Structure 1
Amino acid sequence: MKLAILSRNSKLYSTRRLVEAARERGHSVRVLDPLRCYLRIASDGFAMHYKGKPIAGYGAVVPRIGASVTRYGCAVLRQFELMGSYTPNSAAAIARARDKLRCHQVLAAEGIGLPTTVFGDNPDDTADLLAMLGPPPHVIKLNEGTQGAGVMLTEKLSASRAAIETLRGLYAHFLVQEFIAEAKGADLRCFVVGEKVVAAMRRQAPKGDFRSNLHRGGTARPVRPTRAEAETAVRAARILGLRVAGVDMLRSRRGPLVLEVNSSPGLEGIETATGIDVAGAVIDHVVAMATSRKRAANAVLTDS
């Protein structure tokens, strides 16, 4: 099958592993920088060029769209969808997952466990906003932060107010959440492909920090999620419309709590920690779904 991987850097571990997995399975694969794709949109059809030449005919597209290029990257991915390419994560699903506030609202409405979260805009409401959340410690997160950036822990009410005032002065969008002390600085990353968790790892924050992101010095080890954790991860990804996702959860006294659903989860940390060929699982799923979709479309044409 002719595959495309949307990525700004072909040398990144995740991109390289997807290319390797596709070629090992006999597929044609090309890495395309989404910012070098440009589009023609008209009622008589859609077209796309890449570095001066037309591109078309891709059976499937695997998006690796960074947060900094979400809007343009999603426009390119949407064009591929309109031109008939299959993608495990649609442009609409990626945009939905990238907005932490929207993501939390959608998941909470479906009964997914989450840390209690508050959101407000007016400075006059800060005291009541924090009262709705409860006593500190509080976790304050930028709405579109990634890899632990833009996340802070405040242990006093005065510190929470000061952090909120600072972020509002910068016109930043942020959420405030309860701190789950029993997690002890650890979280669970479940890598979902299709309808199952293909790999999972427990990430532990370094001493003196509460953020377990590997980019922040956290450590990881393989783990077998409980049935409740695996079911929660798969449900969260499905609700957001993602077929490939990294679902981050905390283990709490009231069960698994979803922190974030990542639509472009990194492969290096989880493959290194678990030894599982996650890239291969992604490619196998994408090809199987694209093939099934093509057969269904051909059957409809034959019947008509």
Structure 2
Amino acid sequence: MIDKRIAVIGTPGKWSTDVLADHLEARTGFRCVVDMAEVVLELETGKLRYGDILLNELDGVIIKKVSETYSPAADDRIRMLSSLEADGVRCFSRPGQISRLINRLEGTAALASGNVSLPPTRVTENTDEALEAIREFGKAILKPLYSTKARGMVVLDVANDEAVNRRKLDAFRDRHGLFYLQKFVNLGGQDLGMVFIGGEYMCTYARVSGANTWNTTIHSGGKYQAYHASPELIALGRQAQACFELSFTTVDIALTDDGPVVFEVSAFGGFSGALKGCGLDAAGAVCDHVLAELQTDNREPA
């Protein structure tokens, strides 16, 4: 039994949150699941309280989930957690790195700056420029800046009447503001999730699409399968995740006719794909990584 008090920032009752808490309790004897909707930040002191627990007194927190959806509010919750890091509490992953991935544009811009292979992407507020991007791409995916599991995404095809595309763009702008357009790439019925813990490659699984859907998300009926990634593909995933400093992440990769491209690096990563696709207990591996890091912190300097 390791004498460390580590909380899980997550969604009480959700499997991915509870399995982390179970592993931590088995290793440390301490269990605490924190729902960010119930947390209070005292700005004058920097103290973060969850009920009777002062989170600033913990040895660490594992940030699994701050909200069921990505939104500016989710980013606000991440910024609240930054006060823990400022007070010396180890956060896995670091709030500042997670924040870079909550907003799709900021995350993609970081990947582009890292010379990671991406689908051609255009960002604009101008409807005419957005229509020009659709003409250039032939087919495009219009993506909200804050979303997961393909929610809110719209497929726009140059074969459609331009007036139809314009109406869809205007309706999207009324709801989301900025246009973020990526060239539609043929997934061949699957894309990949490449798992990294502490920057180390663990495994790759495939998400195979369900019937009559353009995306492969489990939310839309996709299924997990094992996948043997080549060294070149692993190198691409490693390059992408290295743009951020995450304790645990999955890199979403598509194998296109023009070669592999990275769609995104996950702010939190999923345990289910690693378990069902690779047979990897990622939650347990994350806990082992976190405890090893905290034990290293406590070692006396040589």
**Is 1:58 the equivalent of 2:58?**
yes
- Aligned equivalent of 2:175: 170
Q: How many residues align?
A: 292
Find the residue that maps to 1:25 and give its secondary structure.
Answer: helix
- Which residue of structure 2 lines up, in the alignment, with residue 23 of structure 1? 25
Select the residue among 135, 138, 151 that pairs with 1:136: 138
Partner of 2:292: 288
Find the aligned partners of 1:254 and 1:187 in 2 and give their Cα distance.
14
The separation in 1 between residues aligned to 2:204 and 2:77, in whole angstroms, is 28
Go from structure 1 to structure 2 and tell me whether the alpha carbon gap of 1:171 and 1:149 turns closer, same or farther (over 3 Å shift): closer
- The answer for the alignment partner of 1:271 in structure 2 is 275
- Cα offset for 1:47? 2.0
Checking the alignment, whether the CA contact within 8 Å between 1:196 and 1:230 is kept in structure 2 is: no
TM superposition shift of 1:214: 0.5
Q: Percent identity?
A: 21
- Residues 40 and 28 of structure 1: is their aligned pair in 2 closer, same or farther, counting only changes over 3 Å? same
Cα contact 1:81–1:87 (8 A) shared by 2? yes
Instruction: Give, as a single letter, the amino acid of the residue that structure 2 aligns with 1:118.
Output: R
Matched ranges for 1:100-115 at <5 A: 100-115=104-119
Partner of 1:187: 191
**Is the 2:9–2:33 contact (alpha carbons within 8 Å) kept by the matching residues of 1?**
yes
Specify the alignment match of 1:210 in structure 2: 214
Judge which range, 88-97 or 17-26, deviates more.
17-26
How big is the alpha-carbon RMSD for the aligned residues of Structure 1 and Structure 2?
2.1
Aligned residue type for 2:202: V
Structure 1 match to 2:5:
2
Match of 2:236, SS state, is helix
Counterparts in 2 of 1:50 and 1:221: CA distance versus 1, 3 Å: same
Distance across 1 between alignment mates of 2:153 and 2:190: 15
Contact 1:34 1:76 (C-alpha < 8 Å) held by counterparts: no
| SS of corresponding position for 2:43 | strand
CA distance in 2, matches of 1:240, 1:160: 35
CA, structure 1 residues 232+88, in 2 after alignment: closer, same or farther (shift >3 Å)?
farther
Q: Cα offset for 1:49?
A: 2.0
Name the counterpart of 2:96: 92
CA drift at 1:24: 2.9
Equivalent residue letter for 1:228: E
- Residue 242 (structure 1) shift: 1.8
Shift of 1:73: 2.0
Contact 1:2–1:28 at 8 Å: present in 2 too?
Answer: yes
TM-score (norm 2): 0.88
Question: Residues 48-93 of structure 1, C-alpha deviation per residue, up to 9 Å, x if partnerless?
Answer: 2222553432222111222244133213321211121112222111
Residues 231/56 of structure 1: CA separation in 2 closer, same or farther (3 Å cut)? same
> Hey, what does 1:245 align to over in structure 2?
249
Structure-1 separation of matches of 2:227 and 2:29: 32
Cα deviation per residue 1:193-226 (whole Å; 9 max; x = unaligned)? 1122223211111121111011111111011222
* Offset at residue 238 of structure 1 (A): 2.1
Q: Is the 8 A contact 1:138 1:160 kept in 2?
A: no
Residue correspondence of structure 1 range 196-235 to structure 2 within 5 A: 196-235=200-239
Query: Helix, strand or coil: the match of 1:170?
Result: helix
Q: CA deviation at 1:268?
A: 2.2
d(CA) in 2 for partners of 1:270 and 1:92?
25
* CA distance, structure 2, for counterparts of residue 37 and residue 24 of structure 1: 25
Distance (Å, rounded) in 1 between the aligned partners of 2:57 and 2:130: 53
Mapped contact 1:228–1:256 kept (Cα < 8 A): no
Any unmatched runs of 5+ in structure 1?
A: none
**88 and 232 in structure 1: CA distance in 2 versus 1, 3 angstrom threshold:** farther
